[in-house]
Structure 1
Amino acid sequence: MTTRTTFPFPTESAAIEAEQEERQIALEYLAEAWNSADTDGVDTEALAHAALFAAVATLVREYGEEAVAKLIGNIPDRISNGEYTLDRVLQ
């Protein structure tokens, strides 16, 4: 039995609904590509590294190195706060 990957996008009260919907659609496309590669036997760690590289490179092209370095600098705290834990239970 193969478990399909889904990437739920955290809801923020300040986010605009249209932006959230577009991000959710984008995540669904990524999940579909991820699942296809996984089905084809591509290692999930390799997928994760490739996805991170593509994401960071795209953000650098859009916003520049300094802005992305600042954004990436906040990620350790966000990870520690559970923002990237997909099976997190909120109480």
Structure 2
Amino acid sequence: MSHDNQGAGTPTVMWEVKAPPNKYPELLDWIDSVAVPAVRASGAEVTSYASADFRAAIIATGPGIGGDLPLPPADLVARPAKHWLFTRR
């Protein structure tokens, strides 16, 4: 990990959601087609992740990012999405 402070103070949000097993492919499609483009439109750098236990995460960094990401349709989630705000050090 670099500690050169490049981008120090930049807002970062980590967003995580879990899908019912039978809805996981649909949730990942929704993330790729709706959530990621919406966050990128704010000028943020966005990376999405998928796990073997039906969870997905987005990490977005940029001055225009806030804590509110688009909410997935209720039928695609096993529980409400969670998010955490950080500041790059």
Structure 1 length-normalised TM: 0.34
Structure in which a larger fraction of residues adopt helix: 1
Structure in which a larger fraction of residues adopt strand: 2
Larger RCO of the pair (alpha carbons < 8 Å, separation 6+): 2
